[in-house]
Structure 1
């Protein structure tokens, strides 16, 4: 309970005194939003609850960036994981731990892997976990949808019945302040937080086995994080219904790994034609040589691959946790 100026006690999580929450996905938009709120709405930031719905299958760079954000903001980012076997359906963990809710939920689906058509991973591990954490409290949720994204919509709180109260209300500071993509980059640069390191090779945040990854990103994953790639491949086994499920439609990870160099080089040749050579650190021949020498880390550390990705514009596919 808190005391207001009239010496009246208000219970946190009511209509009169709602909770203020902001979901951090580990991506650029939600990360910059927390910084923007701190800079422009200090009274809101003081009571803002930052949270991250952790699938237990995030890239290492995501956890590193969350730790960096906590230090910069001076505020904890609460790590919440789905726990389908617990009373509350979620648990709060301290930093990175070994609990992996994906495996338990996958068994519930008899090994049926999530896909763009059946996105049970986003629904259960992200959205329903957040809803369980909020409970019946009234909340104002600050969402990182920009002014230059008119077609995107935020999370809509749903009651059990159409007349139920909708206890989570979304607000959009970027739209209120007319901020677009270039402003997000500026906020991150000015804060010295910069972009998360996975943007060096990946187009968006997400689990290491995210089915929204582009083929070239799967190929690079096999080079950068062979253990994670192998872990994803092990999910592609024949299940009790005698069907084989794969992360990529009509393509196994084993096949992607065997053709990784060809996939990456083909992508480089295609994207190189779309960019200004002067904006790159390496020329095409040097890029191809580094791939062939298995010097993929040296290549991506130049940020050249991100520039090649950006030639196609922003990747809009993926889970919608940043729109909660």
Structure 2
């Protein structure tokens, strides 16, 4: 049975991969599911990881783009049957994870027997399910995982200095101040988010559009932080 590492590219999965190799645990495949909306620094990071470990990372892509599912896909069931686009994902409708990550991985792995290793730190042991979570077993916290990566020369070109998590830059589950940082320091990515927001008939977190937030932020910038409650 082969060992497969599910690499998100963040601090936890990166630290897990490096620690596994450091401990002599065999890694037969490393899989990264590309949403198409990753920070540019993430792609640089993945290349750096490949060179460091001397192994190729398998990059999986969904059948169609994030933009297609966000704006164009026609729903076939439920309350929004016939409506175009899933719009902004949310806690109860995380279509992005299912369509852009879970389904491509399942299609790739097929029925091949494997051990799946996932990078969840000891801080979030409550998220552990049926797979293998070395960081939890080794009691490695998120802070320790990040420190470990920094010591091994991986810094994501400063992403973790701005954000607590560095997943898809459109993630609606990110902290409330992250959108503010994205707008101020990553204008190209913010503009992409605004483009999608303008075309979608669904609100961000069912309350506000990004355009609503930006208009109010320009009026009184500090209000941007308090406009909607993101954990």
The answer for unaligned runs of 5 or more in structure 1 is 1-17, 85-100, 157-169, 271-314, 318-324
Between stretches 175-184 and 120-129, larger displacement belongs to 175-184
Q: How does 1:156-195 map to 2 (within 5 A)?
A: 156=130, 170-194=131-155
* Corresponding position of 2:36: 56
The answer for unaligned runs of 5 or more in structure 2 is 76-83
CA separation in 1, counterparts of 2:163 and 2:143? 19
User: How large is the Cα RMSD of the aligned pairs?
Assistant: 2.6
CA separation in 2, counterparts of 1:171 and 1:204? 21
* Corresponding position of 1:35: 18
Q: CA deviation at 1:174?
A: 2.0
Given that residues 6 and 118 in structure 2 are in contact (C-alpha distance below 8 angstroms), is that contact kept between their aligned partners in structure 1? yes
* Corresponding position of 2:91: 116
Given that residues 22 and 143 in structure 1 are in contact (C-alpha distance below 8 angstroms), is that contact kept between their aligned partners in structure 2? yes
**TM-score, length of structure 1 as denominator length:** 0.60
> Per-residue displacement from partner, 1:75-115 (whole Å, max 9, x unpaired)?
1111110115xxxxxxxxxxxxxxxx112323224123122
CA separation in 2, counterparts of 1:257 and 1:227? 15
Match of 2:9 among 23, 26, 47: 26
Q: What secondary structure is seen at the aligned counterpart in 1 of 2:59?
A: strand
CA separation in 2, counterparts of 1:186 and 1:124? 32
CA separation in 2, counterparts of 1:191 and 1:53? 23
Given that residues 180 and 224 in structure 2 are in contact (C-alpha distance below 8 angstroms), is that contact kept between their aligned partners in structure 1? no
* Corresponding position of 1:254: 211
Q: CA deviation at 1:192?
A: 2.1
> Per-residue displacement from partner, 1:246-275 (whole Å, max 9, x unpaired)?
2243222123223446445886xx9xxxxx
* Corresponding position of 1:296: none
Comparing both chains, which one has the higher relative contact order based on Cα–Cα distances under 8 Å and sequence gaps of 6 or more? Answer: 2
More helix by share: 2
Distance 1:65 1:263, change over 3 A: farther
Q: Is it true that 1:80 corresponds to 2:80 in the alignment?
A: no
> Per-residue displacement from partner, 1:188-211 (whole Å, max 9, x unpaired)?
133122456221212212222111
> Per-residue displacement from partner, 1:114-144 (whole Å, max 9, x unpaired)?
2222111111111111111101100111122
Match of 1:245 among 182, 202, 207: 202
Given that residues 218 and 256 in structure 1 are in contact (C-alpha distance below 8 angstroms), is that contact kept between their aligned partners in structure 2? no
